[in-house]
Amino acid sequence: MGHGLRHLKSRYPKITIWNFKDVVIYPWPYNDIEHYFEFNHKELPKDCVGLHWYGGSPLSQESNNKITPGSIHILENTVCYHGRQFCQ
């Protein structure tokens, strides 16, 4: 257990802290951001329940300006596709 996790557990002893497999929200490594915004993956790994946005990535920042309530219905990428599926 890392120092940070030990600190949290000692500071908040009544909170249960869970760890899960990376694939739950990271279907691709941090250096493959293009899979989110430049590809349209309609299938995600079966254990994936969400997509981490990687907000600090330049490609994510560029997409912040493109994806709007109106454009999510016409943009063809992984984030928009699964956003539309989630909102149905």
Better-predicted residue by pLDDT, 88 or 47: 47
Q: What is the pLDDT of residue 84?
A: 92
For 16-28, write each residue's pLDDT tens digit.
877 788 999 999 9
Q: Residue 2: is its pLDDT beyond 60?
A: no
Q: Among all chains, which residue has been given the structure tokens 């907000």?
A: 55
Q: Cβ-count burial of 48 within 10 angstroms (0-12 exposed, 13-18 middle, 19+ buried)?
A: middle
Q: How many residues are present in the chain?
A: 88
Q: What is the pLDDT of residue 6?
A: 79
DSSP 8-state secondary structure symbol assigned to residue 63 = H
The phi and psi torsions of 27 (rounded to 5 degrees) equal: -70, -20
For 30-79, write each residue's pLDDT tens digit.
899 999 999 999 999 999 988 998 888 999 999 999 999 999 999 999 99
- Contact yes or no for 81/42 (Cβ under 8 A): yes
